[in-house]
Structure 1
Amino acid sequence: MKKPLILVTNDDGITAPGLRALIGYMKKIGDVVVVAPDSPQSGKGHAITIDNTLFSAKLVIDKEEGTPLEYSCSGTPADCVKLALQELLDRRPDICVSGINHGSNSSINVIYSGTMSAAIEAGIEGIPAIGFSLCDYAWDADFEAADDAITSIVQKALEYGIPKGVVLNVNIPKADKEQLKGIKVCRQARANWKEQFDKRKSPSGRDYYWLSGEFELLDQGEDTDEWALSNNYISVVPTQFDLTAHHAIQGLNEWGFTKKS
């Protein structure tokens, strides 16, 4: 049987240790092609390049059997997926995995995440997709603790499929393998960033700003990703890219908008 084709991408850049770890895990499952940014793209969300040129370079060419093809891309994570699907792959991937991100993409962070936006871009194209993040921002973070769980989640997604219009957001707590309690399917916690700007002056006297903030959890539910992570569970949140607030439609119709006959 033909091995599944796995598209691997991220937002931390093609040299990131988290990406290298994910490539290693995916090689156990199928044929791997990597298309990732040539520099860090954290916090870019679903940005795409429309006012500049995109460049891509093939990094690995026909080494030993089983060595993944790797391409760097000068654009955003979403650009990487678009370029992969339209130009670089010779067949449609069976699944797209993004990560492993250095840092959390739980709760409200999913909105800003380049990691998840790459997965969402694949999902928009009808390709099963998963974003993986480790709640450790260190460049030398330990990605090995969750190797079995990551492999299992991808294998199950290939076996059972992911519901249409849904992308999985997987976050892994900073914990040793022995401390991990398992995998928990959750909802996204209600949270926010209490932001502030540090105002400074450049040597030339010009004002500039440095964004900082404090994470504010507004949700004490025990069915959330934040609860799971704080209790050493790997959280899996089914995330949809249809942003329609369906529950609000009826109420808005009661505003009495006029319609032309």
Structure 2
Amino acid sequence: MYLTLGLIILPLAANAVNIVLSNDDGWADSNIRVLYRTLKASGHGILLSAPSIDQSGTGSSMSPPAPLDYQCQYHTCPFGSPATGMWQTDPNITYVNSFPASAMDYGINISGPKRFGGRRPDLAISGINNGNNSGIAVPFSGTVGAAAHASILGIPSIVFSGQTSHRHAWKAIPPLHSRLYSALATNLTNTLLASGPPYLPPKTFLNVNFAAADPGLCDQERQRIALSAYSLQRDIIVRLERSP
């Protein structure tokens, strides 16, 4: 399914919810930080719970978080840091020293309820991944694995990935693709939430892939998006075909 969305985002979402946000590119990657700020500005309660380092290509692997025997991504925490931690100036930005699915699990079951008044999140988002996740790449993607795990836990989830994949650290000036993809992701998220709960069928997640970030398309406030729905059947990710 292909669609286009304008880049206009309302200051506050009409259906603000609590969201756990993760990825496989690491907690200090520019894409996830820009998306965190954009979703937060739209009125949602956001908890970022992502791996301490780049965990791309780890699929649905899981393991208990462990103390770091290396530095966090972009030197954001030192050698010997605890298994989980938070950003110095924002306790809702957290790392989990494990795989993406484990970071999502920790956010949903442990840190999320503390942040959301004892409740689990209403929605899980994974991304924005550096590079698209489609075809044979889907089951190997840690970004997809995090969203798939959330759907197993009964949390509706969305994967966002972008074709433009120039990696930037959290402290860099947000690049065009991070800002564009975050605006589109927030717009699509708000559109889904406007449909009302349960948002998606059980054990189903959306896999959204954005085309290359083109300044010309930005000027036109239009961008091509590929959207697929995947269902988990006996722990196997199965693509749902769109009805004609």
TM-score by length of 2: 0.71
> Which residue pairs with 1:83 in the alignment?
106
Question: Which residue does the alignment assign to 2:152?
Answer: 124
* One-letter amino acid matched to 1:25: T
Alignment partner, residue 143 of structure 1: 178
Runs of 4+ in structure 1 over 4 Å off: 180-183
Matched-pair identity in %:
28
Task: Call closer, same or farther: CA 1:2–1:162 in 2, change over 3 Å.
Answer: closer
1:98 corresponds, among 126, 130, 140, to 126
Name the CA distance, whole Å, in 1 between partners of 2:139 and 2:44: 30
What residue in structure 1 maps to residue 37 of structure 2? 24
Distance 1:148 1:53, change over 3 A: closer
Taking the aligned partners of 1:2 and 1:151, their CA distance within structure 2 comes to 12
Q: TM-score, normalised by structure 1?
A: 0.66
| Alignment partner of 1:12 out of 13, 25, 41 | 25
Q: CA RMSD in A?
A: 2.5
d(CA) in 1 for partners of 2:182, 2:62? 31
RCO higher in 1 or 2 (8 Å CA, sep ≥ 6)?
2
- Alignment-derived partner of residue 3 in structure 2: none
Check whether the contact 2:26–2:55 (CA below 8 A) recurs between aligned residues: yes
The AA in structure 2 aligned to 1:171 is N
Residues 160-217 of structure 1: CA distance to partner in whole angstroms, max 9, x if unpaired? 211222100011111326427999xxxxxxxxxxxxxxxxxxxxxxxxxxxxxxxxxx
Query: For the Cα contact (< 8 Å) 1:116–1:131, is it kept in 2?
Result: yes
Residue 168 in structure 1 maps to residue 206 in structure 2: yes
**AA in 2 matched with 1:79:** S
Deviations 1:27-56 (A, max 9, x none): 113011111100000000000116x74611
Q: Distance in 2 between matches of 1:25 and 1:137?
A: 19
SS in 1 for 2:227: strand
SS at match of 1:14: coil
Higher mean alpha-carbon deviation, 146-155 vs 77-86, is at 146-155
Unaligned runs of 5+ in 2: 1-13, 68-82, 114-118, 169-174, 239-244
**Runs of at least 5 residues in structure 1 that lack an aligned partner in the other structure:** 184-231, 246-261
Change (3 A) 1:177 1:95: farther
Deviation at 1:241, TM superposition (A): 1.5
Report the equivalent of 1:235: 226
Higher-Rg structure is 1
Instruction: Tell me the equivalent position of 1:193.
Output: none
| Equivalent position to 1:34, from 48, 71, 95 | 48
**Aligned-partner Cα distance in 1 for 2:134–2:105:** 24
Which secondary structure does the structure 2 equivalent of 1:18 belong to?
helix
Inter-CA distance 53–244: structure 2 relative to 1 (3 Å threshold): closer
1:85-114 C-alpha deviation (Å, 9 max, x unpaired) = 222122210111111111111121111100
* Aligned counterpart for 1:114 among listed residues 132, 137, 142: 142
Letter of the 2:230 counterpart: T
CA contact (8 A) 1:182 1:233 kept: no
Tell me, in whole angstroms, the C-alpha distance in 1 between the residues paired with 2:63 and 2:182. 33
235-244 or 89-98: bigger deviation: 235-244
- Counterpart contact for 2:19–2:124, Cα < 8 Å: yes
